Structure 1
Amino acid sequence: MQRFGTLSFGHYGRLGGGRILSAGDSLKQAIDLAQGMDDLGVNGTYFRVHHFARQQASPMPLLAAIAARTERIEVGTGVIDMRYENPLYLAEEAGALDLISDGRLALGVSRGSPETVVRGYEAFGYTGSKDPRGADLAREHFATFLRAVEGDGLAERDSASPFGGGTGLQRIEPHSPGLRSRIWWGAGNSESAAWAGRTGVNLMSSTLLTEASGQPFDELQAQQIETFRAAWREAGHSGEPRVSVSRSIFPLTTAEDELYFGGRQDGDQIGVIDGIRSTFGKTYAAAPDVLVEQLLQDAAIRSADTLMLTIPSQLGVEFNLRVIESFATHVAPALGWVSTRA
């Protein structure tokens, strides 16, 4: 594990006890937390994207604000739901954000998570999917997006235009030459991971796999990672792809940590999501020295280069920054972490 960062679900709304976290507060706290993490040398801050829910839905303004307030930290998504996206407009936004951040964008995309509404992408105007979950639509949009990011010409220049003559197919602008190498695909199973490897994009793997073989979650995920890397090599892509996994990990160092997360450590779980039998990864919550031993035994963490910690963003900047600092100080170095401040 060379890098670690945080994965935020960005929930807002009623917190209990009469407290309410507004959408504006949630966004501003995300910026403040990213600033603190940048000062600590944490490698990345990434955001889930959910529509029709009180969570982050439009990540580009937030990531641009974070990029403008930080110097080193990678800004990204995990993941943007391509069923909802205009691929060319997304390519324009991503190109601009990558240039603003000086190449610090890590754009995770995929078919997306299970929805809170029925085929919500159709309300956005994207219809015609033959798949009950819209996977065909997501990959169609992604193929167009990838061509745009690669700089392919996609529209014929109008030679009569008053804004410039000439002929030929024109690419999307702004174009960021290095962005293609920082595109990630969120895979929930081995087939999707192999497809990402053949396509030549990085791999994001979550705390949920839409597979259930009876194996421990970390071993199942490690096999998915090896399937991805094998497909990458067989396709003849150059270089080494990046791989991230996400985990719920809480070092218990104070009474407040014990209150919130003590006793939360549990085993893998099997359930049904989106009509598919799936495996859910466990939560790690223990004293730092115990966490080190446990995480060193996690096969997928050992195989990945990037670890994303899912954080309870509703608990505020001060609490989350303390948890992250505790992980960075007492746990991450033993796993191989290299700070951006090193």
Structure 2
Amino acid sequence: MAEEAAAADLISGGRLQLGISRGSPETALNGYEAFGYVPGEGSTDADDARTKTEIFRAAIAGAGVAPANPQMTGTTGLLPVEPRSPGLPDRIWWGSGTRKTAQWTAEQGMNLMSSTLLTEDTGVPFDELQAEQLQIFRDAWKEAGWEREPRVSVSRSILPIIDDETRHYFGLRAQADAKDQVGYLDGGLARFGRSYIGEPDVIAEELATDAAVRDADTVLVTVPNQLGVDFNARILESIVRDIKPALG
């Protein structure tokens, strides 16, 4: 993974923004164990994810990660992964689902990526809880003393109704999906953020009042990828043309 990430970054001229995470809750019961990722005694899948992330980040930073074979190299010591892209370590994002993991992300020096789901709930609207998560991240970043400015992204489901086809697919969902949802996930309460569905000018007004969107420097848009490239291109064009300018 470190080799492929560095190669992709070099090929793209340093444009890779790589998001990594423990992973979202899945329909399989401990599905990662089917592929040999079995946490040790007293350890969890989250612990394993953080350990592997530490190894990966050391590898892309140029640290030695595997012992040299003296018969092949004539040397001893640890070998680094090649190739290496020097700016890549500053463009790693951690997908955080709680305020606690946001703090951990800042302490590690990674950028923060927060989705449309938080695996906790305090009773406040999703955007306010997520804005609190972002502030905890920034406070922890400052306390850690990192020199560079971090990047922070939030994800939103944005579906402008721009023609009969988009109205056919999303019109009936607009009212039902306009509110947060709360449910049990991973053994506890989780809060799912609302979707933004409607006329572009209405969506722009609603996003302008979204506390986390206001606080983030990057918004990732989730799209209905199963509807195909051409359909989603129209959706994204409308977001860029009709919604983004209103948000500044």
User: Are the counterparts in 2 of residues 222 and 303 from structure 1 also a CA contact under 8 Å?
Assistant: yes
SS state at 2:237 partner: helix
Q: CA RMSD in A?
A: 1.6
Match of 2:45 in 1: 134
- Report the CA distance between 1:166 and its aligned residue: 4.0
Match of 1:108 in 2: 19
- Report the CA distance between 1:291 and its aligned residue: 1.1
Aligned partners of 2:128 and 2:106: how far apart in 1? 19
> What is the aligned counterpart of 2:242 among 330, 335, 342?
330
Aligned partners of 1:253 and 1:327: how far apart in 2? 10
> What is the aligned counterpart of 2:167 among 247, 251, 258?
258
Aligned partners of 1:131 and 1:268: how far apart in 2? 35
Match of 1:296 in 2: 208
1:274 is the counterpart of 2:186: yes
Aligned partners of 1:273 and 1:132: how far apart in 2? 20
- Report the CA distance between 1:126 and its aligned residue: 1.8
1:321 is the counterpart of 2:233: yes
Match of 1:201 in 2: 110
- Report the CA distance between 1:107 and its aligned residue: 1.2
SS state at 1:331 partner: helix
Match of 2:136 in 1: 227
- Report the CA distance between 1:131 and its aligned residue: 6.8
Q: Which runs of 5+ in 2 are unaligned?
A: none
Aligned partners of 1:335 and 1:93: how far apart in 2? 36
Tell me which amino acid in the other structure corresponds to 1:293: E
| Percent identity over paired residues | 54
The alignment's TM-score, normalised by the length of structure 1, stands at: 0.69
SS state at 1:154 partner: strand
The alignment's TM-score, normalised by the length of structure 2, stands at: 0.94
1:92 is the counterpart of 2:3: yes
> What is the aligned counterpart of 2:94 among 185, 188, 197?
185
Q: Deviations over 1:246-270 (max 9, x none)?
A: 1111111212121111242320111
Match of 1:249 in 2: 158
- Report the CA distance between 1:181 and its aligned residue: 0.7
Q: Which runs of 5+ in 1 are unaligned?
A: 1-89, 337-342
Q: Aligned pair in 2 of structure 1 residues 210, 131: CA closer, same or farther (>3 Å)?
A: farther
Aligned partners of 2:165 and 2:82: how far apart in 1? 49
- Report the CA distance between 1:167 and its aligned residue: 4.3
Tell me which amino acid in the other structure corresponds to 2:226: Q
Q: Deviations over 1:77-116 (max 9, x none)?
A: xxxxxxxxxxxxx111211111122212111111101122
Report how many aligned residue pairs link the two structures. Answer: 245
Tell me which amino acid in the other structure corresponds to 1:191: K
Considering Cα pairs closer than 8 Å and 6+ residues apart, tell me whether 1 or 2 has the greater RCO: 1
SS state at 2:26 partner: coil
